[in-house]
């Protein structure tokens, strides 16, 4: 799709990969709604790019629905949903203090998998009801998964399962939405320099970078954002997940 002039929703757009995506898509002429639980930070991003910021908890059906409707009021129906909201916690399934509390697992599944699905079902319903473009395309949904979907590390059970769930959904949803001209794609980042990783010491950052074949450094948010722009532009990409990781393969720990 030609992103220029299109309405776009970026969840998790207040920080990291989502923020860079919001900025990049705006530079391509998109009308961007920055959806996040961190409203102040979302507002700062929106102000920089001439977009709008809307409070949205992706896990909450009412909040998500209200945010998508509020964005439509200003920009029209969103033709691109970029799901970047997400996160995780490190905890062994059976640690020194016994089995992981079930709610720890459910919380991460709820944020990444249920949250991504929640936004998708609501945004896709509006895309499907809208007019197609001259090539029959009505919209695009993108997930941010992780290389952890394939190489889950010790302590990442919940995160791995949640990203694996999104990875599996990509082809399923692409099939289900194909008749409406809505594509579904996923991007699996390797190790990117964002607030999610916390403030890494130089030493830790260097040791992480040493495990990445080439380029021997952490990924830059801009590189992720440019891939989002390419996936939007290239209509033949559908139902697939693209790794962007400098050829890294995560080790068990
Ligand atoms: N940084 C990496 O190395 C890396 C690697 C693989 C995958 N990812 C994935 O990329 C995505 C973005 O990560 P990031 O590194 O930019 O992290 P980040 O912490 O910088 O940004 C995540 C954003 O999501 C928002 N958010 C959290 N819960 C939310 C909710 N319930 N509703 C709405 N917004 C919510 C946060 O407020 C934050 O702005 C995540 O899904 C993460 O799992 C990141």
Answer whether 0.95 is exceeded by the pTM. yes
pLDDT at 207: 85
Q: Is 196 in the pocket of ligand 1 (CB under 6 A)?
A: yes
Give percent helix, percent strand, percent coil of the chain, each to the nearest 5: 45, 20, 35
So what's the pLDDT on residue 196? Answer: 83
Ligand 1 atom at minimal distance to the Cα of residue 218: 3
| pLDDT of the residue at 201 | 79
Asked whether the predicted pLDDT for residue 202 surpasses 90, the reply is no
Q: How far is the CA of 171 from the centre of ligand 1 (A)?
A: 22
Atom of ligand 1 at shortest distance to CA of 88?
Answer: 43
Residue pLDDT, tens place only, 2-44: 999 999 999 999 999 999 999 999 999 999 999 999 999 999 9
According to the model, what pLDDT value does residue 143 have?
A: 98
What confidence category does residue 198 fall into, taking pLDDT thresholds of 50, 70 and 90? confident
pLDDT, averaged across the chain: 97
Tell me the per-residue pLDDT of 112-149, one tens digit each, with 9 for 90 and over.
Answer: 999 999 999 999 999 999 999 999 999 999 999 999 99
What pLDDT score was predicted for residue 203?
Answer: 84
Q: Do strands 182-189 and 241-244 pair parallel, antiparallel, or not at all (unpaired)? A: parallel
Dist. CA 60–CA 71, nearest whole Å: 17
pLDDT, mean of residues 152-176: 98
The phi and psi torsions of 96 (rounded to 5 degrees) equal: -60, -30
| pLDDT score at 128 | 98
Among 9, 20, 84, say which to mutate for ligand 1: greatest number of ligand atoms within 8 Å of CB: 84
Q: With 80 as the cut, is the pLDDT of residue 200 above it?
A: no
**Contact present, 189 and 244 (Cβ < 8 Å):** yes
Does the CB atom of residue 87 touch ligand 1 within 6 A? yes
Cβ of 116 closer than 6 Å to ligand 1, yes or no, is: no
CATH number of 7-244: 3.40.50.720
Report the distance separating Cα 84 and Cα 116, nearest Å: 8
DSSP annotation of 175 reads H
pLDDT of amino acid 205: 83
End-to-end CA distance of the chain: 40
Residue 129 confidence (pLDDT):
98
């Amino acid at each position: 799709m030609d992103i220029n002039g299109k309405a776009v929703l970026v969840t998790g757009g207040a920080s990291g990969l989502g923020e860079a995506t919001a900025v990049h898509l705006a530079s391509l002429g998109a009308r961007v709604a920055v959806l996040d639980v961190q409203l102040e930070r979302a507002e700062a991003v929106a102000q920089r790019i001439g977009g709008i910021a809307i409070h949205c908890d992706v896990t909450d059906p009412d909040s998500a629905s209200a945010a998508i409707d509020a964005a439509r009021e200003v920009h029209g129906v969103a033709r691109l949903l970029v799901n970047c909201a997400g996160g995780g916690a490190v905890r062994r399934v059976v640690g020194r203090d016994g089995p992981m509390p079930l709610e720890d697992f459910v919380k991460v599944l709820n944020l990444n998998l249920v949250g991504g699905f929640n936004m998708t079902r609501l945004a896709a319903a509006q895309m499907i009801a809208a007019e197609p473009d001259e090539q029959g395309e009505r919209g695009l949904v993108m997930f941010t998964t992780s290389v952890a979907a394939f190489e889950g590390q010790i302590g990442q059970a919940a995160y791995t399962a949640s990203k694996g769930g999104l990875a599996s959904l990509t082809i399923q949803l692409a099939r289900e939405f194909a008749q409406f001209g809505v594509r579904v794609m996923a991007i699996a980042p390797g190790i990117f320099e964002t607030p999610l990783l916390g403030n890494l010491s130089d030493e830790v950052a260097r040791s992480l970078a040493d495990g990445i074949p080439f380029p021997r450094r952490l990924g830059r948010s801009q590189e992720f954002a440019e891939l989002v722009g390419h996936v939007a532009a290239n209509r033949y990409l559908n139902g697939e997940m693209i790794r962007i990781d400098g050829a890294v393969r995560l080790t068990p720990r």
